[in-house]
Structure 1
């Protein structure tokens, strides 16, 4: 049977028309998908800006379904899940990203960082540590080390914390010497609790080497000496704080006075503490001076002066104790100081507090100025509750 070329001439235009129609349908569908994905994306952003997180998540999920290869949408969705506390869903989103073989290295590292944050927020500290460790050779190294440092502090793994802080200093993230000193002090306390005196001493030396001006190693070393009955050495150790950090010396002022009494050096201790108190007066220094002063009249005079300069409840209580021990009446100046102290202490307690939001006010309100609630103020002042 002979082939009729007439049918070929008729079929070519038909085939061309069908191909053109199919291509137009594919292009139109592609354009529809490309238009719907950005629309859903911007819709999600709008919901997010209006703090409508539920609707924002729905919009982002729709956008991801239209364009599953868009990593930015996955990151946005995962971050939204994490902010809402839906950590399991956030983990799934970021693990899905990591499972993609075509993901660029930079995006993979970003997804790993987001996954580590998910684990940390979820309280899965072991998995968070492992995830952050995988970031140590990436541009997220500093962020990973900071997160690891926080994890080690929470778990009280002080040696690992020292290593992380040292690595951070090497990476140029700032000085961590004060923190390292604290970590060594924590190790010293642990060794002391186990009865390992040499290890505790070595840890304190490491702390002082890490931060020579840090007060905590000096405070702890003096306390160890005092517990061992070596009060002269304890006093000399604590006295080294005065020229370096006189404010921190107040933390051990009473212990310093107690050691001075045990060592029979009350007069020398008074000569050390009195100028320091005049420069930086504090109730701790005043109480230490009271421990060292045998004359009740002198102690009472110091308390009265302190009340006039810095009204405090502790000084007022001390003055009442001194007057009671002497069985004497208070002078007008002492009474005035007591009135001022008690008045200042009573003011915060003379307010009304809203039961709904905690807003405090000197006057009673029927409608709270803070939360606008009605009848939320109990008709009793704070000191009566």
Structure 2
């Protein structure tokens, strides 16, 4: 009896095992789908790395047909569409993500940043601005989004908002944005001045100088504003302050300074200003050249002597040779003219006709067919005015 019971139990267990094996084998189809999906993503990545965006799009789209829940695939797809300049399709992909009900806040903001990139690439900068404004309104510590927003504000000429964003960035990651804020407020003041709104321009200049009182850009715009308002003396002080910091820019500021002092009837003040600057920066050739140019209007012989000395010290300083040649021509001395011409030719011998890559600006003395800097072919152009052997990028 016990033997029959044991045999019966064994037969029953065998039957149960057979049934379990037949009907409860784990379904491997999801695993196979996941594996195929993974292979499709890998193939898409390989195609993207190979530069074949179309093939990458095909592979990722194939994976999405099997599983529409993979958000990263949609982000990859949108980026690839944007890379192929298919901006409308990129926007559609990202907007479709926003329609999902279970999208968390972090992903929503990520989608809006991608939309900003889509809109900017398509030329819709204001729509890109709106997308980024949405992001920073909901994530007030998103440094990257603030940086992108500031850049777009600058591109759209919204100087005031760009300055506000830079101030915010300074607080967010403890960076000094005062100089940049001064530039932006100076740009705003220049725009307002050009539009005839000098009252608003004054307010913007106060904000610029409050951000950075020594900003050369701000000092220049301040001088222009003061001169326009009839306060030439204040304009002169602003340009003096700018030149004291950036004497190399005397060719830009100098003639404005001279014109303003001439209007004020204080031409003697020009010499005093140049003398003071040269005393501070005795080796600055730009200041010495500017003073000689000004002196040529009153005392050509003295100016020519100063220019000759400058040319001896700086043989390649062509602007000095040009000014000296003008004065020699005025004198009409044939021998002096010939000597000046020969000296100019000698200086020009140090300037060579080189070759420059149109794509990246890399320059070489010898002709090249492929740029050694960016590897582009057929981009070589003649580059006049390079020093012999100079190899510099733009």
- TM-score w.r.t. structure 1 length? 0.79
Tell me the alpha carbon deviations over residues 266-318 of structure 1, each in whole angstroms, 9 at most, x when there is no partner.
Answer: 44422331353453524465234422452211111222223233323322221
Q: 2:146 corresponds to which residue?
A: 145
CA distance in 1 between partners of 2:219 and 2:359 (Å): 47
Alignment of 1:224-373 (within 5 A): 224-227=225-228, 230-274=231-275, 276-277=277-278, 279=282, 281-283=284-286, 286-292=289-295, 294-310=298-314, 311-328=316-333, 329-330=335-336, 334=340, 337-345=343-351, 347-348=352-353, 351=354, 368-370=369-371
Do the aligned residues in 1 keep the contact of 2:44 with 2:55 (CA within 8 Å)? yes
190-199 vs 113-122, which deviates more?
Answer: 190-199
Q: 1:162 corresponds to which residue?
A: 163
CA distance in 2 between partners of 1:354 and 1:135 (Å): 40
CA RMSD for the aligned pairs?
Answer: 3.7
Q: 2:126 corresponds to which residue?
A: 126
Per the alignment, do residues 382 and 237 of structure 1 end up closer, same or farther by CA in structure 2, a change over 3 Å counting? Answer: closer
CA distance in 1 between partners of 2:244 and 2:361 (Å): 44
Q: 1:4 corresponds to which residue?
A: none
Cα distance, 1:249 vs structure 2: 4.9
Tell me the alpha carbon deviations over residues 328-369 of structure 1, each in whole angstroms, 9 at most, x when there is no partner.
Answer: 233898556423432234x12xx578999999775678xx35
Does the alignment pair 1:213 with 2:218? no
Per the alignment, do residues 382 and 242 of structure 1 end up closer, same or farther by CA in structure 2, a change over 3 Å counting? Answer: closer
Q: Which runs of 5+ in 2 are unaligned?
A: 1-13, 385-394
Cα distance, 1:157 vs structure 2: 1.9
CA distance in 1 between partners of 2:362 and 2:173 (Å): 44
CA distance in 1 between partners of 2:95 and 2:61 (Å): 16
Q: 1:51 corresponds to which residue?
A: 51
Tell me the alpha carbon deviations over residues 87-144 of structure 1, each in whole angstroms, 9 at most, x when there is no partner.
Answer: 2222222222222222333333322322222222222223222221221122772222
Q: Give structure 1 regions of 4+ aligned residues with deviation exceeding 6 angstroms.
A: 13-19, 352-361, 371-374
SS at match of 2:68: coil
CA distance in 1 between partners of 2:152 and 2:359 (Å): 36
Tell me the alpha carbon deviations over residues 158-207 of structure 1, each in whole angstroms, 9 at most, x when there is no partner.
Answer: 22223222222232262322232223223322332343333322322221
